């Protein structure tokens, strides 16, 4: 891919090429592309320092529309290629874009090992609970009983929750946003960039053709005010149109309370700690579902840990410092030499 060189402070136009995006009208991918662009502009990442890697699917078309380094890889292998990009060139900022099918089905093994290794890549998981590109088959995140072209009588299996999979693989960063919420999406993408290590950003979006309405409870501003909670580190877990509800601990679980009832005040509400190494409470927050609980948005987990790519780079430097040779010519001349006469 040929890049237009960027000078000084890049603008949004510097990250887009002349190819017109080919997504369905109303698809959330348009908003996600705009959010990625706004996030990298805010962080002043030059296009030539950026790589966008994808697998196969509607979301995986994104690299074709970006004026950055990029690669549309084979199905499910985006995390593997993104890992190679970061280890081979640590100075690159690597963004991986996958759908719930590409990222969690055939790509599920790469997803868990990227999190386990804690490679410094940003994984954007676009979750519409369907295979859209192949015209409407159920995916690993489709709910039990979901009727689709590949499950005409309803699925008979439980879905993956991306957060649960990330945490189970010892993931250190997980955030969630809704594709129609531009400020919320930009915020978690900037937080992912700031995090050193694998950063999983789940973006909830409807598939307007094959699974429209799957995230309708939080798909507009009014719905999010009623049915979502925006988590911020160090702040009380309040939600509702007037912040009249909050979360408290009840035994080993959580409960929703209303401020003012039974003497409950803001001081009784749990404070969000995204940096806590123990992910017990963070996972409970990530698994909340309506109608009994709000859907958690924002940065849910953000914990520092050593990265795979830094460890590999340090190991290479250590080995090089102990070797007698530092290039191919020295290698040839260092060990036993035979002269043929």
> Does the residue 248 lie in any domain?
no
Q: Which pLDDT belongs to residue 8?
A: 63
In a domain, 60, yes or no: yes
pLDDT tens-digit map of 100-138: 999 999 999 999 999 999 999 999 999 999 999 999 999
pLDDT band of 23, cuts 50, 70, 90: very high
Question: Residues of the chain with pLDDT > 70: what percent?
Answer: 98
Tokens of 41: 């502009």
Tell me what pLDDT residue 246 has.
Answer: 98
Residue 336 in any domain: the answer is no
**Averaged pLDDT score across all residues of the chain:** 93
CATH code where residue 144 lies: 3.40.50.970
Do strands 295-302 and 199-204 pair parallel, antiparallel, or not at all (unpaired)?
unpaired
| Torsion of Cα atoms, 138 then 141 then 144 then 150, to 10° | 10
3-state secondary structure 33-77: HHHHHHHHHHCCCCHHHEEEEECCCCHHHHHHHECCEEEECCCCC
Is 25 inside any structural domain? yes
Q: For residue 94, is pLDDT > 60?
A: yes
Domain membership flag for residue 53: yes
Question: What's the pLDDT at 1?
Answer: 46
Quick check: 292 and 256 in contact, CB under 8 A? yes
**Residue 194: band (very low, low, confident or very high) from pLDDT cuts 50, 70, 90:** very high
Give the model's pLDDT for residue 109: 95
The confidence score (pLDDT) of residue 36 equals: 95
Q: Which residue has tokens 């409960």?
A: 255
65 found inside a domain: yes
* 313-337 per-position pLDDT tens digit: 999 999 888 887 778 888 787 777 7
pLDDT in tens, 294-319: 999 999 999 999 999 999 999 999 98
Reduced to 3 states (helix: H, G, I; strand: E, B; else coil), residue 178 is strand
The pLDDT value given to residue 3:
54
* Residue 337 belongs to some domain of the structure: no
Domains identified in the chain, total number: 1
- In this model, does residue 21 exceed pLDDT 50? yes
Q: Which pLDDT band, with edges at 50, 70 and 90, does 6 fall under?
A: very low
Within a domain: 323: no
pLDDT tens-digit readout, 30-68: 999 999 999 999 999 999 999 999 999 998 999 999 999
Which domain does 77 fall in, by range? Answer: 12-219+306-310
């Amino acid at each position: 891919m040929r890049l237009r060189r960027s000078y000084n402070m890049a603008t949004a136009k510097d990250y887009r090429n002349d190819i017109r995006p080919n997504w369905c009208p109303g698809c959330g991918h348009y908003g996600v592309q705009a959010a990625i662009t706004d996030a990298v502009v805010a962080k002043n990442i030059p296009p030539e320092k950026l790589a966008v890697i994808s697998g196969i699917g509607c979301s995986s078309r994104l690299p074709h529309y970006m004026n950055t380094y990029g690669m549309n890889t084979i199905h499910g292998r985006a995390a593997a290629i993104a890992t190679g990009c970061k280890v081979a060139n640590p100075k690159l900022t690597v963004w991986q874009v996958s759908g719930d099918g590409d990222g969690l089905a055939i790509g599920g093994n790469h997803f868990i090992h990227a999190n386990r290794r804690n490679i410094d890549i940003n994984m954007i998981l676009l979750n519409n609970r369907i295979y859209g590109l192949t015209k409407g088959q159920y995916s690993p995140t489709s709910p039990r009983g979901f009727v689709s072209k590949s499950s005409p009588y309803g699925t008979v299996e439980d879905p993956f929750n991306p957060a649960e999979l990330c945490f189970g693989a010892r993931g250190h960063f997980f955030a969630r946003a809704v594709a129609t919420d531009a400020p919320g999406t930009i915020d978690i993408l900037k937080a992912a960039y700031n995090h050193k290590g694998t950063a999983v950003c789940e973006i909830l979006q409807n598939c307007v053709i094959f699974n429209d309405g799957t995230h309708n409870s939080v798909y507009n501003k009014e719905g999010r005010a009623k049915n979502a909670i925006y988590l911020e580190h160090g702040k009380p877990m309040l939600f509702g149109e007037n912040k009249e509800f909050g979360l408290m601990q009840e035994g080993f679980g959580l409960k929703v309370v209303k401020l003012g009832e039974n003497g409950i005040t803001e001081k009784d509400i749990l404070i969000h700690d995204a940096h806590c190494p123990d992910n017990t409470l963070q996972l409970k927050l990530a698994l909340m579902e309506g109608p009994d609980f709000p859907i958690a948005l924002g940065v849910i987990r953000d914990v520092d840990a050593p990265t795979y790519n830094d460890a590999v780079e340090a190991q290479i430097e250590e080995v090089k410092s102990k070797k007698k040779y530092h290039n191919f010519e020295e290698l040839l001349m260092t060990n036993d030499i035979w002269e043929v006469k």
